[in-house]
A and B are shown apart, each in its own frame.
Chain A
Amino acid sequence: SSELTQDPAVSVALGQTVRITCQGDSLRSYYASWYQQKPGQAPVLVIYGKNNRPSGIPDRFSGSSSGNTASLTITGAQAEDEADYYCNSRDSSGNHLEVFGTGTKVTVL
């Protein structure tokens, strides 16, 4: 299966914008989905498809994709957005395997 690579950590000032990226060959063929995970909790889906938000996810979360890179943008980051974020997609083997990104720790300053 292919790999999805994320920056280990990013920080953002309260109210500012942060973009988290996910790189991998499979992203040329498949959309990424994005998950937020807070300590001791299960992951929560925040973005899927081209730029779809599940019910209850604030509109400050948005997604985009170009080439082999998918991005999750938080516009106007809030203290409660401090968490680990993981991307996920089908891999590039054609066998419909799933793969998760390495994860990014977002710190809100």
Chain B
Amino acid sequence: QVQLQESGPGLVKPSETLSLTCTVSGGSISSYYWSWIRQPPGKGLEWIGYIYYSGSTNYNPSLKSRVTISVDTSKNQFSLKLSSVTAADTAVYYCARGDYDILTGSYMDVWGKGTTVTVSS
């Protein structure tokens, strides 16, 4: 079955750019939409943004100025870049597969295990 795996540095310095990659295995990235979600310590889930396999994107307005999500269909991967990070960006970052249609609404049915990113000097 489809599995997702996040990868990237666990420690990022303030003001630098956080970069994560999600590798999709057991299925093709060339359908569905692909999301990034984060969870600060002890807090709830926050949607960061998603990308369709075609490359079209949608971002959380509160993060839009700092976020870029891209897809590499040849590698079956999609990536997150978050610039100018501060301690408030410390969180567990998840990637997830999403689907949407008029009959079911949107849902995310496959999630990665998550990766912890700490912003600290």
Contact = CB atoms under 8 A, between A and B. Distances in A.
A7 to B, nearest CB: 13
Interface in A35-62: 35, 37, 41-45, 48-50, 52, 54
Task: Determine chain B's interface SS by DSSP, over half rule.
Answer: strand
Interface size class for chain A? 20 to 34
B107 A45 contact: yes
Contacts of A100: 37, 44-47
Interface residues of B, number: 24
Contacts of B112: 42
Contacts of A75: none
Contact of B94 (A32, A42, A101): A42
Contacts of B114: 42
B120 interface: no
Contact of A49 (B44, B50, B98, B107): B107
Interface of A: 1, 30-33, 35, 37, 41-45, 48-50, 52, 54, 86, 88-90, 95-103
Contacts of A103: 44-45
B109 A54 contact: yes
Contact of A98 (B44, B94, B106, B109): B106
Contact of B105 (A35, A44, A48, A86): A48
Contacts of B45: 35, 37, 43, 86, 88, 100, 103
A86 B100 CA distance: 18
Interface string B53-80: 0000010110000000000000000000
A1 B46 CA distance: 12
Interface string B7-48: 000000000000000000000000000010100000011110
List of 10 A-B pairs having minimum Cβ-Cβ separation, nearest first:
A31-B105, A49-B104, A48-B107, A33-B107, A98-B47, A103-B44, A100-B45, A42-B111, A30-B105, A45-B109
Contacts of A95: 58
